[in-house]
Chain A
Amino acid sequence: MASTADYKDRQFLAVIGDEDSVTGLLLAGIGHVTDPPDSQKNFLVVDNKTETSAIEAAFESFTEQRKDIGIVLINQHIADKIRHRIDTYTAAFPTVLEIPSKEHPYDPEKDSVLRRVRRLFGE
């Protein structure tokens, strides 16, 4: 179960997305780079050349290693690349949120949470 310590310090958002989404969200002010020794960014820009393993590594670091992230935003078309990871991710913190991107409109059929909702109500 989620205890207080689990989410008390989670004050940042993280984003894995294409350049436009990341740029926009950074412009809104969610970008954060930790203090110099390790300087971890809380965002990852994914383009056609980005390896799936790099996406997976970023997802893992945002969801498992870092304890200061409360919400992970991920473009839906990128989430599709690591769909198995997203679908098997069931922890409450951080929350993984699939967001649409400019070229890929949002498809509720693919969303892992909405699929869980539907499964629960047997629709």
Chain B
Amino acid sequence: MSGAGDREAVFPTRQSLGLMKSKLKGAETGHSLLKRKSEALTKYVEPVPMAMQRFREITRRIDEAKRKMGRVMQVAAFSLAEVSYAVGGDIGYQIQESARQARFRLRTKQENVSGVLLPAFESYQTEGNNDFGLTGLGKGGQQVQRCRETYARAVETLVELASLQTAFVILDEVIKVVNRRVNAIEHVIIPRTENTIKYINSELDELDREEFYRLKKVANKKQRDTAAADAELKKKMEAENKENAGSGGGQAADILAENEDDDVIF
């Protein structure tokens, strides 16, 4: 029936019916748009320019980059071992103490994927600041240099990976939100609006029927009334006709002489 199911609290009027209908239309449009957005973000639908990495593509690249990172870090660790061997001692402490200003820094830029802003890291090296000028000065300078280069490359790989990962985290979030909205529209808002429309329609029909019945009643009553009035009029006229015919010429009788009035007692 009309009241069954979840519906919005509205008065069943034609105006709110119009409102509900446009709301339903809006919800359906929004649903299809959001669904398309979610699909665009989730799937790697068609080949797109490199700047527009889609989600699956990103996850695939994360996986790849993580594996690559494993190899790169291994090479880097090996070159560090070479340094220790060449320098003939631990340089860790010295390096930790002489670190002052980062040479290797990040820059962030934005990419736009289906209306979602994805930040991407970019690494750059500042010139002319070297905290480790004295490391390996005595011996093993070449190894230190090579090690630095290896690690710099490793860090570049890591930065690239971090960009992908950030993109993944943000996209993951956005996709969740979009999917939640899609579901809400599909399973709550649309059925609810439809229910409301049904309710308003049935109420309006009911009102129509009531109105019709009332009009019919009124018409009936009027008819009866006129019929009664007609009958009375007819009777009256008949009576008058009869009287006229019966009294004939005694019309001008003295009204004072006729019928003694009763005494009026207060």
What residues make up the interface of A, taking CB atoms closer than 8 Å to B? 1-2, 4, 7-8, 10-13, 19-33, 41-43, 45, 70-71, 73, 90-93, 95, 97, 99-102, 105-106, 108, 111, 113-114, 116-117, 120-121
Q: Which of A7, A21, A29, A99 contacts B102 (CB 8 A)?
A: A29
What residues make up the interface of B, taking CB atoms closer than 8 Å to A? 59, 62-63, 66-67, 69-70, 73-74, 76-77, 79-81, 91-92, 95-96, 99-108, 110, 117, 119, 121, 125, 131-132, 135, 144, 147-148, 151-152, 154-155, 158-159, 161-163, 165-166, 168-170, 172-173
User: What are the residues of chain B within 8 A of A1 when measuring CB–CB?
Assistant: 170, 173
- A12 with B119, Cβ < 8 A, contacts A71-B162, A100-B73, A106-B66 known: no
Report how far A12 CA is from B131 CA in the complex, Å: 16
User: What are the residues of chain A within 8 A of B170 when measuring CB–CB?
Assistant: 1-2, 92
Report how far A100 CA is from B155 CA in the complex, Å: 13
Q: Which of A12, A20, A116 contacts B106 (CB 8 A)?
A: A12
Q: Which of B81, B100, B121 contacts A33 (CB 8 A)?
A: B100
- A99 with B69, Cβ < 8 A, contacts A7-B119, A13-B106 known: yes
A35 to chain B, nearest CB (A): 10
Q: List 12 A-B contacts (CB under 8 A).
A: A21-B73, A24-B147, A27-B80, A28-B148, A30-B103, A31-B102, A43-B99, A93-B119, A95-B121, A99-B158, A113-B168, A120-B172
Q: Which of B67, B69, B70, B169 contacts A92 (CB 8 A)?
A: B169
- A28 with B155, Cβ < 8 A, contacts A23-B96, A43-B96, A116-B172 known: yes
Q: Is the interface of A mostly helix, strand, loop or mixed?
A: mixed
- A117 with B152, Cβ < 8 A, contacts A27-B147, A97-B162, A100-B74 known: no
Report how far A2 CA is from B120 CA in the complex, Å: 12
Report how far A32 CA is from B103 CA in the complex, Å: 8
Decide if B169 touches A12 in the complex (CB within 8 Å).
Answer: no
Decide if B119 touches A2 in the complex (CB within 8 Å).
Answer: yes
Decide if B102 touches A12 in the complex (CB within 8 Å).
Answer: yes
Decide if B80 touches A70 in the complex (CB within 8 Å).
Answer: no
User: What are the residues of chain A within 8 A of B66 when measuring CB–CB?
Assistant: 106, 108, 111, 114
Given contacts A23-B95, A71-B158, A95-B166, 4 further A-B contacts (CB under 8 A): A29-B152, A31-B96, A90-B173, A100-B70
